[in-house]
Every structure is written in structure tokens, then in C-alpha cells.
Amino acid sequence: MTTLKDTVRQLHRKLLDSGLSELSRISIALLDEEHIRTYVDSTVGSVSLSHHSKRLNASLSLSQLVQTRKPRVVDDYSCYLEGKKDGANAWILKNKLLSSYTIPVFFSGDFLGFIFFNSKRKSYFDEQMLALLRDIVEEIQTGIYLERIMFDKIVSLSKFADKASEIRDKGTALHCIRLMELTRIISSHVANTVEITDREMYYLIKFSPLHDIGKIGIPDNILLKAGPLTPDEYAVMKRHVEYGLEMVNAVCDSKVRQHDAYQMIRHIIGAHHEMLDGSGYPNGLEASDINIFSRIVTVADIFDALTSERTYKKAWSVEDALYELNEMVQRNKLDPLCVEALVLYFNNVSEMESAASIDNRCVSAKSKDDSLHVRGNDMPFISA
């Protein structure tokens, strides 16, 4: 199956071979909740921009493009970016990409992201060049639309699950929202050490809320029980992984199943309760069998469960939750790099600031109970 990444790189090569040798870069950044995140980047002559994410409302110029819905041409970036030397701006200046052509992309009225063209020559994108790029822009837009249509099939399932969870249990719905931000924090750190593509990071963040979708199939007397589960109840609870995989399979047709996003979703749902020492479920996978995406969601899931109030427990403080995560690293249950990401993040912000930075709901500055309850598998008393 040809991916959007393949399409963009093939089109860029075609343009370079046709004589547009000064077209240095074609890139796509898609909207990831409130962030604009690199998705595909084809750059010649330098290392591509990767793992870049920025809140859309933090960029006045890009926000204005969304409001006007009109493309923008910058003839001399060195003047345009004077004084703006952070993130992507610093990368653009370092690589001497002096001119740009930016197109905001919309689908059925919804803003999806941007297409960026760059050149190392000033005033490269004149009227003649824009005319030459018109068909290329349309082809890339079509690729983005097709990607969106595929995502919508999965996102519709996610939205259904969110609403069903909200009706049954407000805490579960908010847990999914917070999980996305925690996943963003962890994956951004892990990507500095482990090879994760921008597309993979986009999928991981976007679909992390699907991890517990199978809980729709768990009876209320078990899902909402205000106390420890019995062994039989815990066995039923663990089946939410199986139910989640069945639901995704029912929604995703054969074409969607060929896309690498589908495999990402199966990892997220199927292995977010596996532990590195083999003590997790449903398959008792061990370290080498658990990929990094599942490990990231596992740590985000446990941290949020610990720091959130439940009917059966008070919320732990961030400090106590991080201590517990490190203890689980020592017991060879959690990925140390994923836990390190949260430790570094929360060490750099106060507990009050961290609560505000994760949708004002990610953590609670309450203390845990003195006793440590257990809900099977020698795990802390957390969301199953």
C-alpha cells in the first residue's frame, strides 16, 4: 500500500528530476489535537526536520493562515524569522531555507494541517513556480484527504467509545484525554533514543485513547466496582483487551488493515497490560516481544491511573506515582526510558504547573493512601 510518505517523496524526486533542483523541501504537518506535528518531510541537502510539535495557537502566523484559509509565500525567510530562533525556525535558518510556500489544508470544512515547500533561493516561489506546483499541491492534498478518510473510520470508533465511556463512567473518559498528553510527553523523549518516525508518533498520540476501548464490554458491577476485584472478576476485566481488538477488527476493512496505523492500534490495544518480566496479560509477553509503542502507552496508563481519583482509591501525588514507576522499573516491569521521560518532565515543572499543562486534569496534587492495595498480578491498585 502506497503511503502518504511514499507519495510525497516520489513527487519531490519527480520535481527535482524535471529541473526544479532548487526545490529543497516538501513537508506535511498535520493537526494533532491542539498541536501541529511533522508528519512527512522530504528534504534534500540536509537532515529532515523531525519530531517537531508546536501548539497551533502559539504560532501567530500559522494561526492566521488557518483563519484566512489562504496560502502564504515568504520571499526571504532570513528577514521574516529575525528574532525567531526556536524549534523549526532555528532549523530553517540553519539549513538556509530562504523562501517558502505554505498551504493550509481543509477537508469538509475541518482544518487538517499544512503543506510546506521550501527553497534555498530567495523569491523562488513566484507566480510561474506556483503554477508549476499547482497539480503537485492537489495531488498531495488528495493524499491527505485519503489519509483522513481512513483515520475517520477509526476515529469514529474512538469517539463512540469516548461517549459511551462518558455515559458510563466520567473518569474513564477523562483518562483517555489525559493519556494523549502523557503519551506525547513520553514519546517525544523516547524518540531522542529510539527510532520513531513522525508518522508513528502521530498515530501513537492520536490513537492512544483506544487502548481501553474494550471496557465497553465489561459489566458495570465489575468496571465500576468500588473495591478490589475477586479473581473471577479480574479474569473478566482482563478480557477488555480481547474485546477491544474485536471492535477494531469489526470497524477496519481490508484496506485499512493494510495501513501501518492499523498495526499501531493493535499494539496499543493488545499489549498495554504486558510487563517486561512476562507477568502481564493477555499473552505474558516478555521484553523483546513488547514494542516501544505498547511500552509508552503502558507507562502513561499506569501513571494516570495512580494520579487520578477512583471510586476505590484516592489520587496519589506525582512524587509518589513517579516513585512507584521507578520501583516497577527495578522489578523489570516497565521500560526505564519511558519512566525517565515522566521523571524529567515533572522535575522541570511544579505539580501545579504540570496539572495545568496536561489539560488541567492530568494529575492531582492529592496524597495516596498509606496502604498499597493490589488488584492482581502484583500490580498497584490501578485501572485494569
Rounded to the nearest 5 degrees, what angle is found at the Cα of 174, between the Cα atoms of 361 and 178? 55
The count of other CB atoms within 10 Å of the CB of residue 104 is 19
Backbone angle region of 169, left / alpha / beta, with phi > 0 → left and psi within -120 to 50 → alpha: beta
The count of other CB atoms within 10 Å of the CB of residue 320 is 16
- CA contacts within 13 A on the Cβ side of 270: 16
Cell of 8: 510525497
**Which letter does DSSP use for residue 374 in this model?**
B
Pick the catalytic residue from 54, 120, 206, 215.
215
Helices (H), the chain: 4-17, 60-68, 77-80, 87-94, 127-168, 170-190, 198-207, 220-223, 231-237, 240-251, 254-257, 260-271, 292-307, 318-330, 336-347, 351-357
Q: Are 261 and 203 in contact (CB under 8 A)?
A: yes
Handedness of CA 199, 200, 202, 206 (dihedral sign): positive
Distance, first Cα to last Cα, the chain:
36
Q: H/E element holding 114?
A: strand 110-119
Give yes or no: 94 in active site.
no
Rounded to whole angstroms, the Cα distance separating 264 from 170 reads 26
Residues carrying an active site annotation: 215
